[in-house]
Amino acid sequence: MIVAYLRVSTGKQLLENQKNEISAFAQNRNMVIDQWVTEIASGCKQRNDRKLGTLLRRMKKGDSLIVTELSRLSRTLIDIMTIMGTLLQKGVVLYSTKERYSFDNSLNSKVLCFAFGLVAEIERNLISMRTREALALRREQGVKLGRKKGSYTKQKILLDNRNEIIRTINSGQSIASICRKYHVSRETFNRFRRNHLPLDKKDSDITKDRYRTMTP
């Protein structure tokens, strides 16, 4: 299976240029694209939260993945190297059309992957070093590190609005709409629900029933 992966960060960007470039690349090599995977998502977003994560898990030995640039896979070199390593282990060939890279099981590809891996390791160490130096400098400047006492965390926002949230759930509104209203993730809300909902017995059965109907 030959898969073309296209990604843009915003809806304003066009996927057409990427598609045209990959189509020309495939035609020149007598390749037929079996599947086009497109998504609008930031490259900083975790790949498991994107279509790319599902695609990588599904691909198997003998498959090929085509992108216009390696940066379409991720914005960080470390993550790109992780993806490349996963594909190489699976026996999946990765093509990057603009950079003219071809990562397969050949010696040249392995050498290139090693070079990228070395750079990624250096980048990882530099990030770690800069973080430690910045923290040390802030300590020397007398800055107290960590969360400020009494800071307004997302859990506290939900807790302060607990009664309103219970009324909202019992009125039939979805959990997704509640998360959007208070700018929290579903994971954060679920943690809040386990710890704080419902506290009153009279609300218990209603809230549980409402939550079941709104949760997949």
Q: pLDDT, tens digit, for every residue of 160-178?
A: 888 888 888 888 888 888 8
Residue 85 CA to residue 74 CA, distance in Å, equals 14
Question: Residue 205: which pLDDT band, with cuts at 50, 70 and 90?
Answer: very low
The mean pLDDT value for 50-63 works out to 91
- Please determine, for residue 78, whether its predicted confidence score (pLDDT) is greater than 90: no
Q: Which percentage of the chain shows pLDDT scores above 70? A: 77
pLDDT at residue 145, rounded to an integer: 64
Question: Residue 207: which pLDDT band, with cuts at 50, 70 and 90?
Answer: very low
Residue 44 CA to residue 80 CA, distance in Å, equals 11
Question: Residue 45: which pLDDT band, with cuts at 50, 70 and 90?
Answer: low
Closest CA to 162 of 42, 170, 74, 137: 170
Question: Residue 97: which pLDDT band, with cuts at 50, 70 and 90?
Answer: very high
pLDDT at residue 163, rounded to an integer: 86
Within 13 Å, how many C-alpha atoms sit on residue 210's CB side? 19
Residue with tokens 């843009």: 8
- Please determine, for residue 137, whether its predicted confidence score (pLDDT) is greater than 80: no
pLDDT at residue 94, rounded to an integer: 93
- Please determine, for residue 121, whether its predicted confidence score (pLDDT) is greater than 80: no
DSSP secondary-structure letter at 102?
A: E
Rounded to the nearest integer, the mean pLDDT of the chain is 79
The mean pLDDT value for 68-96 works out to 87
pTM score above 0.75: no
Token pair in block for residue 61: 């030995």
Token pair in block for residue 40: 């609008």
Residue pair 3/35 in contact (Cβ under 8 Å)? The answer is: yes
Token pair in block for residue 104: 């397969």
Residue 51 CA to residue 174 CA, distance in Å, equals 24
Which of 23-37, 91-105, 193-207 has the least mean pLDDT?
193-207
Residue pair 43/71 in contact (Cβ under 8 Å)? The answer is: yes
- Please determine, for residue 147, whether its predicted confidence score (pLDDT) is greater than 70: no
Residue with tokens 């498991």: 48
pLDDT at residue 130, rounded to an integer: 74
